[in-house]
Amino acid sequence: MSTAAFSAPDLRWSLVVPVKVLARAKSRMSAAAGPYREALALSVAADTVAAALLCEHVGAVVVVTDDPLAASELSDLGARVVSDEPDAGLNPALAHGAALARALAPDAGVGALSADLPALRPAELSEVLGTAAAHGGTAFVPDTAGTGTTLYVASPGVVFAPAFGPDSRARHRAQGARELALAGIPSVRRDVDTLDDLIAALSLGAGPRTTAIAPLLPACAPS
């Protein structure tokens, strides 16, 4: 494929979204979410996937999960769901999903998107993917905290080598990926791991599922 194809304004992307088994998800919010922790994790993931599917530059969303409830819910939204066959950690799971995505759509770019972006706005994601297409190669979006990564992408024909985990921002930069810290994309950078993160996402305008469950959480329930 030519370099020109990488920067085509109509380049489509397949995004891989990893979703933990719900019983192990959102562990840092156990006290804040109480008995709704698993439901919160699923709501956040579902709002993320639904928003990604509405993005004009996204051709497909591949969810990698071993959770049957998450698989069913996210499949109903329109995602292609696969099990975590490598079962060897986050980055191998993403590589597994990306290999399937490239087999299904070899002319598309591939990306790894955090499942923890309940305020994700399709237009902001579109801006990021359009910028990534214009530059080609690999690129990533740092999280709001400035140490992690919420999105990592590789253009068609480019090696997909995600480096999520501690200090992933520095690890992706060290690999030569272009940092896309664009202005006006707060929803792409606001992942949710803590109660403060959730409150910030709600203030941005979270998706309907997260917005509906938030008042039920012990830490967010009206007094």
Residue 20 to residues 8, 40, 80, 137, Cα–Cα distance (Å): 34, 12, 16, 28
Sign of CA dihedral 76, 78, 82, 84: negative
* Separation of alpha carbons 156 and 35, rounded Å: 43
Q: What phi and psi, each to the nearest 5 degrees, are found at residue 34?
A: 55, -135
Q: What phi and psi, each to the nearest 5 degrees, are found at residue 110?
A: -125, 150
Q: 109-113 and 149-154 as β-strands: parallel, antiparallel, unpaired?
A: antiparallel
- Binding-site positions for phosphoenolpyruvate: 149, 165, 168
| Residue 76 neighbours by CB distance under 10 Å | 10
- Binding-site positions: 149, 165, 168
